[in-house]
Structure 1
Amino acid sequence: MLFTKSFVAATFLAVLSVASAGKSSTKAVKGQTGVITNAKDFCLFLPPMYGGGISENEDRAVAFCTKPNMTGAPNAGVLPAGFIKTAHFVRNTAADWVQVTGRMNGKTYGLSKKDGGGQYDIKAPVGSKCSGYKYFVELVEPDQDIYCIRCCKTKSDCPVNKSTYGCKKVLGGNYA
């Protein structure tokens, strides 16, 4: 009888553990699609874990958006409260690209002020994209507390070969 009670209790705990694991894994951020709608509704790619380094996670970054359930960004997380300090949206209708540039508070996601940042684009993280566009380029610079992202129809409008130049030189824009 004691064996049966122990077996039942162990089985219950195992089932409960699996159910809990399933719930937490569905909440894990795993989105590889970002979107830019306007200055209040957009996504950025960031390391998958709080406090991760930008360049160290170029292959593993995931999408985080300004609000939950962004249309076009399945499985994306939500940016921490206070992460976006300013956001400046530009739509170039002639070239058919959109971008957001601005200031951030990297501390809200544990980003180090010693982190010089890095670049995310259609090659890294693998499988990433910007909804409605063929290309994108994003730079995140925690040491400067700035970020920039542009989604483009043509490769030439999303320069991915200048990551060490930083946001201001690669995409221009407003960082006030």
Structure 2
Amino acid sequence: MLFPTVALTVLSFVLLPLMVFADPDPTPIPAPTPAPTPAPTPAPSNNTSSANYGRTVAVLNQQDFCLFLPRYYGGEIAPSESTAVAFCTKKLAAAPNSRILPKYFIKSAHYVRNTHRGYVQVTGRMDRTKYGLSRHDEGGQYDPQAPRWSKCTGYNYFVSLVEPNDNIYCIRCCRNKYDCPVNKSELGCRRVIGGNYS
């Protein structure tokens, strides 16, 4: 009658390892959570981008206005059309981070405000030597396309030309596109922006 005892011993020998190595908590282990995908960096707004600094001009009156000029002293006008920065007659809140025009650079300034058509302009003479501009430089045009992100405070459009060889400059800021033509730069200030250049 030893058979039941032997059978019980054999059964215990087989089941004991299974009991020892069995997981006491049968709850399944969750899969690891994947790391979140970072959100794409939003494109900078034209109004807040650092690229906008120094790219805003203003035409307020005969004494307070700005022009675009080459970033560096002695630069050429046309080659700098995409990199130019704003220079103003003095520090203006309407032209953030603009520079100050060199002393005696502006020799004359004639301001016109057309309330019916909604534009303002300044035309006049300059002394190219005060910023090292060349007398052989026939100049070029600045508008909202060049330099990029440029604008005139309070207006939808602007056009400005600087002609060192003739020592004249002009800028007009407009509500309407047709008052600020940007496709006539080769005609120069006197044809693009009629005004007083004395």
Provide the TM-score with structure 2 as the length reference. 0.73
Q: 1:141 is aligned with what amino acid?
A: E
Distance 1:41 1:56 in 2: 27
Give the 5 Å matches for 1:41-60. Answer: 41-60=64-83
Q: In the alignment, which residue of structure 2 is the partner of 1:36? A: 59
Distance 2:142 2:118 in 1: 20
SS of corresponding position for 1:147: strand
The one of 101, 108, 120 equivalent to 2:130 is 108
Q: In the alignment, does 2:118 pair up with 1:96?
A: yes
Distance 1:125 1:142 in 2: 19
Distance 1:156 1:169 in 2: 14
Q: CA deviation at 1:71?
A: 1.8
Q: CA deviation at 1:45?
A: 0.3
Q: In the alignment, does 2:73 pair up with 1:63?
A: no
Unaligned runs of 5+ in 2: 1-52
Distance 1:110 1:126 in 2: 24
SS of corresponding position for 2:73: coil
How many residues align? The count is 146
Distance 1:103 1:134 in 2: 26
Distance 2:135 2:90 in 1: 25
Distance 2:71 2:102 in 1: 13
Unaligned runs of 5+ in 1: 1-29
Structure 1 moving runs of 4+ over 3 Å: none
Q: In the alignment, which residue of structure 1 is the partner of 2:150? A: 128
Provide the TM-score with structure 1 as the length reference. 0.82
- Report Cα offsets for 1:97-135 as digits up to 9, x if no partner: 000000000110010000000000000000100000010
- Report Cα offsets for 1:74-110 as digits up to 9, x if no partner: 0000000000000000000001100000000011001
Distance 1:44 1:32 in 2: 10
Distance 2:62 2:125 in 1: 12
Q: 2:194 is aligned with what amino acid?
A: G
Over the aligned positions, Cα root-mean-square deviation in angstroms equals 0.6
- Report Cα offsets for 1:17-76 as digits up to 9, x if no partner: xxxxxxxxxxxxx500000000100000000000000000000010000012x0210000
